[in-house]
Amino acid sequence: DAGVTQSPTHLIKTRGQQVTLRCSPKSGHDTVSWYQQALGQGPQFIFQYYEEEERQRGNFPDRFSGHQFPNYSSELNVNALLLGDSALYLCASSLWGAREKLFFGSGTQLSVL
């Protein structure tokens, strides 16, 4: 049983570019959340998707957007990249009815130069 898978593992972009990160939830899960983990910090909640809709959002600007597909996979898009967007981006999946039981992927390491 595959866990949460994220792609790519690493990514390098330059300021002003746009990036798309991808996440496949654990088999059977229908809810996906995204977190940003800066170096030396704990993860910070970006947003959560269920039934292809954004359900909750943290304190992130509109440059951060997402999407959930009918197969429950999800994308995180970041426009107009800033140096400060460099971080590990974590995807976590769960069942909507058991949202406290989160399973995390290993993350995508984004470097903005």
Partner 1 sequence: GNSVTQMEGPVTLSEEAFLTINCTYTATGYPSLFWYVQYPGEGLQLLLKATKADDKGSNKGFEATYRKETTSFHLEKGSVQVSDSAVYFCALRNGDDKIIFGKGTRLHILP
Nearest distance, CB of residue 82 and partner 1, angstroms? 21
Binding mask 12-51 for partner 1 (x = CB under 8 A): ---------------------x------xxxxxx--x---
Window 66 to 95, contacts with partner 1 (CB under 8 A)? 90, 92
Where does residue 68 rank: exposed (0-12), middle (13-18), buried (19+ CB within 10 A)? buried
Phi, psi of 90 (to 5 degrees): -105, 135
**Contact call for residue 102 and partner 1 (CB under 8 A):** yes
Residue that is written with structure tokens 């993860």 in the block = 43
Residue that is written with structure tokens 């058991």 in the block = 98
By the 8 A CB rule, do 23 and 73 touch? yes
Whichever of 74 and 81 has its CB closer to partner 1, that residue is 74
Where does residue 29 rank: exposed (0-12), middle (13-18), buried (19+ CB within 10 A)? buried
Q: Which of 13, 22, 30, 58 binds partner 1 (CB under 8 A)?
A: 58
Whichever of 27 and 56 has its CB closer to partner 1, that residue is 56
* Interface residue list for partner 1 (CB under 8 A): 3-4, 33, 40-45, 48, 55-56, 58, 90, 92, 99-107
